[in-house]
Chain A
């Protein structure tokens, strides 16, 4: 393993400075559940590891009038142990409470999950269906991008050298909105998704007024299945309508066959999971 320096900046500006200096020879450390494993596994060689947990914005959870702002390094358990967050963002909580196991959840963050940009990431689809925005700091200041634009390839995110993720902004929804995330794994825990789906819906007067469906592990990045989502808008959440959208999601999925699953199995699973997550989200609104 190549030797590297450890930095623990206290402000966003300090962090940008170190990251800019080392360019692609530096990586941010949040919970470390990906970056430490990858460094030890010699997936890349680093000169600097920049621990961002000591920057206050990175680990805070703040409510504004219209957003919940989650610091990028906030561990998953902080979210699912907060009843207010659980009530407002059920899909996010589905994700946060099944990433890795309990030990991993006490370290790993949704921000890290997003930056790691794994096609099978458990956190990203839920962020997509909640219309999350990424708050990115860099040498040119702060910019914001929709979360579905963050992943650009397996393990590749949209940030430039010197940039890092400060927080994730989740728009607050009304009580007619809900969401759900479900993945298929061969075991019952501690596993990586063969295929996964997050869905969100808003129900107004018995009809779906908004819908977002996102798919994981069936393409080079998590996929916002926009066409499938649109199909349901203005429709009633009937079994047939949900089934049609699910079949569309299956069409959109473009998986590969590998040790974790076959193309056929993954596409079949997308249909099943889309159906199940849509129904679950609808059920959660109704409750």
Chain B
């Protein structure tokens, strides 16, 4: 691993301590969503629609209700009816009605796997047998499964009662939930001034995050109308908010305990089974647990939108970009929200383009309602933009990095949606790429064994978010510190947050013990998503640590009966500035302190977050006889602001690249014409395995964020943006033709080669 992290002024930050949750996780003691077992708990199962698009005419549950061992049966009639009122929290939005109907369909199913009823019984098998006895009378409708079908003027309409927003106008009977346009400058005039204009259209299939742990929901609805939920979630407060909305309860009546989380990548933000478990619990008067199968996860959780993107960029004869146009059409699935605003923010984000025109369509299709997946919207548009950039360089015979540097976005560059960038590090990333060993190594175009090779490069961006976080600290009598927080830990954030508190307190990372607690035990904390956790919750930990030092200072002053101004706190030692006799360690202070518990509590609500840019270089090898592609070298270069725990930053970069490689080469929802995903298992949904990947090299570039005391930028999402275009560009370099639809699988490559 090549990681060029500068020697720093920090003692804890930038080191690589063992994560606090490491022992529990490697020994298998950690408790994940489905591991919770409650006294008297019973089990639930759901009935899912076999159709992608159908009206529900009647549901007969009587046979299931009368089965031995069945406690309760529910349908959407057991849920309160909600309105079109919009709700929004970080990384999730939409109407309350849609939130509820995605949990359980009321009068229409909009994708295969849509839940229509649920059962609780004394064991899982009985619940599953009971489900089979529920009779649903469907009127099957024609499904629309891609943006072209959905936008066709004669297309079947998913939501007859839904009103779309097309440039601010209200439109009925449409599958286009939202149509937005973002303009900067006069694009038509700017294109006329260009010496070269390149336009490309790319197509992407739906892909899934592929987290290893399926969704689950365990709940008890008690006699006091209080609902307790245990689940695997990226945001316990967001989960609480969604559960309370679906059940029409005050948030204070719902308590969510986040279990350990076996991956999420954005997909563990929505709720699916939790409200069902709660209603079944109310009807059964028992705690109820439901768990999805892998096929359920594919069919009915929230994948990333497929769609089509057109990008057109114009340059002058020197290669300076003058104008950019984009047409972005992304599949929302059964309910609105395909992240088109994010896509519009990202499409030209790496470049300084004076005039831009971006049209974006949020399109309803009969597929599961999409959820965030690592930089939602950005990989799709990066595919188009970075293909065009690659093509312009070919046409102008310009160096791929020099061209990018000529047009690079930097501090002050105006972004497509208006605001100008604060300090960003794409230029530094590109300069590092230019100097990298990978870029300077020679790639033999032909291997000895008849295979052909190619190299590709692409950049990508995610804006990152800030938002709300809270942290509590409490000093133990042995001088260690308990840290409680509300950010569920997916990628090592317990460590990265604890390390920021430890840095301020001048103690070891191991001396700060972090715990992720339930929603009754900490202030509101937004989701672990948007690459915000180490940034925002870490910021709260930084503030709380300073407040703890204030507490220590004030109590130490009382112990020594001196002024607080005379107290110095450094590296875990408390001393007097004036009297060298007066000093004690934090442990001695904690042990002796007679003035009550030493605690602090801090919160943040950060409007700004610093954007993250990365550039990836890939070498691949293609067998021209079979079309098989092997990635033989891969380097990720990224501005990470400040790497708190470099191993976990590198892990994020490698993980994002890996998911992007899967997206590029093999992953897709392979759909039947009637809207069913045919490959809903890990055997046939081909994510990369270890043998498919070389060691992914990482280069951490640290351009500190201006918005964070240690310079932290979000790092988790950016690395999934460049892989698809980097690989597509490398395929073009190898075989001389572009394949502009994902997945770039063997059969497509072979077909392309045969037609050449």
Give me the interface of A with B, judged by CB distance under 8 Å: 1, 3, 184, 186-192, 194, 258-262, 264-265, 268-269, 272
* A269–B692 CA distance with the chains assembled, in angstroms: 20
- Closest residue of chain A to B669 (Cβ to Cβ) is A259
Complex contacts, A191 vs chain B, CB 8 Å: 683, 686
With A186-B666, A187-B686, A261-B747 known as contacts, the answer to whether A3 contacts B691 (CB < 8 A) is no
Does the CB pair B691–A265 fall under 8 Å?
Answer: no
Complex contacts, B745 vs chain A, CB 8 Å: 186
Does the CB pair B625–A192 fall under 8 Å?
Answer: no
Does the CB pair B628–A264 fall under 8 Å?
Answer: no
Complex contacts, A187 vs chain B, CB 8 Å: 666, 686, 688-689, 691-692
Least CB distance from A269 to B in Å reads 6
Does the CB pair A265–B747 fall under 8 Å?
Answer: yes
Least CB distance from B668 to A in Å reads 9
Does the CB pair A188–B691 fall under 8 Å?
Answer: yes
The secondary structure that dominates the B interface is loop
Least CB distance from B739 to A in Å reads 14
The answer, yes or no, to whether B750 is at the interface (CB within 8 Å) is yes
* A69–B751 CA distance with the chains assembled, in angstroms: 44
Does the CB pair B628–A184 fall under 8 Å?
Answer: yes
Complex contacts, B751 vs chain A, CB 8 Å: 264-265
Least CB distance from B25 to A in Å reads 20
The answer, yes or no, to whether B423 is at the interface (CB within 8 Å) is no
With A1-B125, A259-B670, A259-B684 known as contacts, the answer to whether A190 contacts B626 (CB < 8 A) is no
- Closest residue of chain A to B746 (Cβ to Cβ) is A186
Does the CB pair B684–A260 fall under 8 Å?
Answer: yes
Complex contacts, B406 vs chain A, CB 8 Å: none
* A190–B692 CA distance with the chains assembled, in angstroms: 11
With A1-B125, A3-B125, A186-B666 known as contacts, the answer to whether A192 contacts B746 (CB < 8 A) is no
* A187–B683 CA distance with the chains assembled, in angstroms: 11
Besides A188-B692, A191-B683, A268-B625, 10 other A-B contacts (C-beta < 8 A):
A187-B688, A188-B691, A190-B689, A259-B670, A259-B678, A262-B747, A265-B627, A268-B750, A269-B626, A272-B626
- Closest residue of chain B to A272 (Cβ to Cβ) is B625
With A265-B746, A265-B750 known as contacts, the answer to whether A189 contacts B128 (CB < 8 A) is no
Complex contacts, B628 vs chain A, CB 8 Å: 184, 186
Least CB distance from B617 to A in Å reads 22
* A265–B749 CA distance with the chains assembled, in angstroms: 10
Mark contacts of B623-639 with chain A using CB atoms, 8 A cut-off: 1 yes-contact digit, 0 otherwise.
00111101000000000
Complex contacts, B666 vs chain A, CB 8 Å: 186-187
Complex contacts, B691 vs chain A, CB 8 Å: 187-189
- Closest residue of chain A to B627 (Cβ to Cβ) is A265
Least CB distance from A198 to B in Å reads 17
* A187–B746 CA distance with the chains assembled, in angstroms: 10
Does the CB pair A192–B684 fall under 8 Å?
Answer: yes
Complex contacts, B684 vs chain A, CB 8 Å: 192, 259-260
* A190–B125 CA distance with the chains assembled, in angstroms: 30
The answer, yes or no, to whether B679 is at the interface (CB within 8 Å) is yes
Complex contacts, A188 vs chain B, CB 8 Å: 630, 689, 691-692
Complex contacts, A190 vs chain B, CB 8 Å: 689
With a 10 A CB-CB cut-off, give which of B128, B626, B628, B678 has the most chain A CB atoms.
B626
B686 contact from A186, A258, A265, Cβ within 8 A: A186
- Closest residue of chain A to B678 (Cβ to Cβ) is A259
* A190–B691 CA distance with the chains assembled, in angstroms: 9
* A262–B683 CA distance with the chains assembled, in angstroms: 17
- Interface residue ranges of B720-742 to A (CB < 8 Å): none
* A146–B667 CA distance with the chains assembled, in angstroms: 39
Does the CB pair B683–A192 fall under 8 Å?
Answer: yes
* A260–B679 CA distance with the chains assembled, in angstroms: 9
- Closest residue of chain A to B670 (Cβ to Cβ) is A259
Least CB distance from A258 to B in Å reads 8
Least CB distance from A137 to B in Å reads 32
Least CB distance from B647 to A in Å reads 26
* A265–B747 CA distance with the chains assembled, in angstroms: 6
Complex contacts, B670 vs chain A, CB 8 Å: 259
A-B contact pairs, 25 of them (CB 8 A): A1-B125, A1-B128, A186-B628, A186-B665, A186-B666, A187-B686, A187-B688, A188-B691, A189-B689, A190-B689, A191-B683, A191-B686, A192-B683, A192-B684, A194-B746, A259-B678, A259-B679, A260-B684, A261-B747, A262-B747, A265-B746, A265-B750, A265-B751, A268-B750, A269-B626
Least CB distance from B82 to A in Å reads 35
Complex contacts, A3 vs chain B, CB 8 Å: 125
Mark contacts of B447-489 with chain A using CB atoms, 8 A cut-off: 1 yes-contact digit, 0 otherwise.
0000000000000000000000000000000000000000000
Complex contacts, A268 vs chain B, CB 8 Å: 625-626, 750
Least CB distance from A148 to B in Å reads 26
- Interface residue ranges of B11-50 to A (CB < 8 Å): none
Complex contacts, B678 vs chain A, CB 8 Å: 258-259
Complex contacts, B683 vs chain A, CB 8 Å: 191-192
Least CB distance from B576 to A in Å reads 63
Nearest first, the 6 A-B pairs at minimum CB distance are: A265-B747, A188-B691, A259-B670, A259-B679, A189-B691, A272-B625
Mark contacts of B135-177 with chain A using CB atoms, 8 A cut-off: 1 yes-contact digit, 0 otherwise.
0000000000000000000000000000000000000000000
Least CB distance from A141 to B in Å reads 38
* A58–B203 CA distance with the chains assembled, in angstroms: 52
* A3–B128 CA distance with the chains assembled, in angstroms: 12
* A268–B751 CA distance with the chains assembled, in angstroms: 10
* A244–B628 CA distance with the chains assembled, in angstroms: 24
- Closest residue of chain A to B683 (Cβ to Cβ) is A192
Complex contacts, A192 vs chain B, CB 8 Å: 683-684
* A189–B688 CA distance with the chains assembled, in angstroms: 10
* A272–B627 CA distance with the chains assembled, in angstroms: 11
Complex contacts, B689 vs chain A, CB 8 Å: 187-190
- Closest residue of chain A to B749 (Cβ to Cβ) is A265
* A262–B679 CA distance with the chains assembled, in angstroms: 15
Complex contacts, B627 vs chain A, CB 8 Å: 265
* A225–B666 CA distance with the chains assembled, in angstroms: 30
Least CB distance from A280 to B in Å reads 13
Complex contacts, B688 vs chain A, CB 8 Å: 187
* A194–B751 CA distance with the chains assembled, in angstroms: 16
* A65–B403 CA distance with the chains assembled, in angstroms: 73
